[in-house]
Amino acid sequence: MIKKQSFTKQTNGYYFETIGIDLIPVVELEKLVAFFMKNLLAVALILTVVFGCDDENDVTPTKTKLLNVQVDASYATDQLDNWIVVHDEDGRLLAFKSFESNMTFELETDQMVSEKITITTIGHYFRNGTHYYSLFSYTKVAKGKTYVIKNNFGTAQTITGTLNVSVSDVVDIDQFSLSSRVGFSGSSSWSSATKILDIQTNTYSGISKYILSISDGNQMKYKVLDNVQANDSYNVSFTNMLPFDNSITLTFPACDNVTMYVNGSEPGESVSPNSYNIQSLYSSDLRSNLQVGYLNALTNYVTGLNLTYPDYGLEYNNSGSVPNPNITWPSKTDFVIAGSTINDYSINAKKPYIWRTGNWQFFDAQNFTYWVVYSPTDEQAFDEMPAEIIAQHPALTPAKMNYTGSKIYTQGVSYDEYVNNALESKQASKGVTIGIGLK
């Protein structure tokens, strides 16, 4: 028996006030049949998608691109083993691969990945019975970037002989340098009795200009030596040398372990290298200031100052210009390393910082491992390393690493810019970087 119910007509059909049907017009019945058939097909299609692909072999996992790697032909790997390893932010291993010179490849994963990853390069060589390992890790890197690995040091210059310079009238020595655009290397001797400074450095093919600089603690002077040939000798008087065009005085907390350098390049020169070391100082005398000189003929100056104290250190670097001598130094009381293991690292910071490094080492009779981690925070994790690498190189086991120190940078470029420069093998950005080293 069919219960009779009333219905109310609307412009596009009928609806029913209660459950039950009675005397539906034919045209409306056809509409209902069509409606149910249409939705029945839709339901069937959904069931086919959901239950018809239960064979996992028919499913193609979605791959997430982690990193594109370009290994330049200039990066020599004939005597090195090299790997690149990618972790997520929780230390979970996502991908790894060994690489050789002149390769391009992508690292991918079918695991769920956050927007940020950690990238680690591993280098290994064996010499005189010892395995040497170097690891460099960058945390919180956006996935999908390109990592360019190449030799940034240029080709070795051909040594043709030596340059010998004897400088008279040098009553004392604070710093000295004898540099071509390749830099300064060589030997020296000074006698307080004769007041003569003898310097010897290498000469190179195609390079004929050298800059001599000396400071006796009161005066800074320089002399340019042009048209230098292999095995030339010069006799110079400090009295007749020229004063630097510009000078500044850097001040700092009193320190008896001071290292300073100034490099400058000739403008418009496309040659590489192009970096004259016009000042170079290591001092064990207690001091709280330092005079630094610059020449108008050079540009793109890089000034570095490192101060080492018994339980901390300070670092200053200015790239691209003559520094502003007003430096705000961080204090060791601003930062405390609270956790020092590689998987339980933490910093108690009273003041903000831009980024930091953490250093770990492991060494025994047959291995020496050096690991540096770069990060904008104190967060890092390396819960697992590739098993096949650890099986052959157990000295890379994270739990074996011993903490050796940190550097915390309070002024400088952003971490993202720093990492981009590192990944793309670009020169460091111009500007000032100030940091503090803690144990």
Phi, psi of 47 (to 5 degrees): -60, -35
pLDDT at res. 74: 87
Among the residues of 264-413, which ranges form H helices?
387-392
> Which residues lie closer than 8 Å to 11 by C-beta, 6 or more apart?
none
Is the per-residue pLDDT at 278 higher than 80?
A: yes
Q: Check residue 129 and report its DSSP letter.
A: T
Among the listed residues 366, 359, 358, 360, the one whose alpha carbon sits nearest the alpha carbon of residue 394: 366
Higher local confidence (pLDDT), 150 or 121? 121
CA distance 300 to 80: 34
Percent with pLDDT over 70 in the chain: 85
88 within a domain of the structure (yes/no): no
Of the residues 319, 350, 369, the one at which a domain ends: 319
pLDDT at res. 427: 77
- Which two structure tokens, joined as six digits, stand for 383? 């819960």
435 within a domain of the structure (yes/no): no
pLDDT at res. 41: 39
pLDDT at res. 336: 95
Mean pLDDT of 140-151: 93
CA distance 143 to 10: 57
60-69, 97-106, 207-216, 327-336: the lowest-pLDDT one? 60-69
CA distance 25 to 13: 10
Of the residues 290, 319, 348, the one at which a domain ends: 319
Is the per-residue pLDDT at 20 higher than 70?
A: no
CA distance 270 to 108: 39
363 within a domain of the structure (yes/no): no
Of the residues 299, 319, 339, the one at which a domain ends: 319
Contacts 24+ apart (CB under 8 A), 326-332: 327/250, 327/251, 327/252, 327/434, 328/411, 328/434, 329/252, 329/253, 329/434, 329/436, 330/408, 330/410, 330/434, 330/435, 330/436, 331/436, 332/436, 332/438
In the chain, the number of structural domains is 2
Q: How confident is residue 156, by pLDDT bands cut at 50, 70 and 90?
A: confident
pLDDT at res. 33: 35
CA distance 398 to 384: 8
Give Cα 239 to chain centroid, integer Å: 44
Report the length, in residues, of the chain: 439
Q: How confident is residue 430, by pLDDT bands cut at 50, 70 and 90?
A: confident
The answer on 308 and 184 residing in a single domain is yes
pLDDT at res. 397: 96
> Which residues lie closer than 8 Å to 37 by C-beta, 6 or more apart?
none
Is the per-residue pLDDT at 3 higher than 70?
A: no
Mean pLDDT of 397-426: 94
Mean pLDDT of 204-230: 95
Q: How confident is residue 114, by pLDDT bands cut at 50, 70 and 90?
A: confident
pLDDT at res. 59: 52
309 within a domain of the structure (yes/no): yes
Mean pLDDT of 95-105: 96
- What 3-state DSSP class applies to 140? strand
Q: How confident is residue 61, by pLDDT bands cut at 50, 70 and 90?
A: low
pLDDT digits (tens, 9 = 90+) for 324-383: 999 999 999 999 999 999 999 999 999 999 999 999 999 999 999 999 999 999 999 999
The answer on 314 and 172 residing in a single domain is yes
Beta strands in 128-158 (DSSP E): 130-142, 145-149
Sign of the four-CA dihedral 48, 53, 59, 61: positive
Is the per-residue pLDDT at 252 higher than 90?
A: yes
42 within a domain of the structure (yes/no): yes
The answer on 201 and 53 residing in a single domain is no
Is the per-residue pLDDT at 50 higher than 60?
A: no
* Pairing outcome for strands 233-237 and 159-168: parallel
pTM: 0.81
pLDDT at res. 52: 45
86 within a domain of the structure (yes/no): no
71 within a domain of the structure (yes/no): no
The answer on 166 and 315 residing in a single domain is yes
Higher local confidence (pLDDT), 184 or 350? 350
Mean pLDDT of 230-240: 97
- Which two structure tokens, joined as six digits, stand for 335? 């930062």
148 within a domain of the structure (yes/no): no
The answer on 314 and 169 residing in a single domain is yes
CA distance 244 to 189: 23
pLDDT at res. 39: 46
Q: Which domain holds residue 223?
A: 159-319
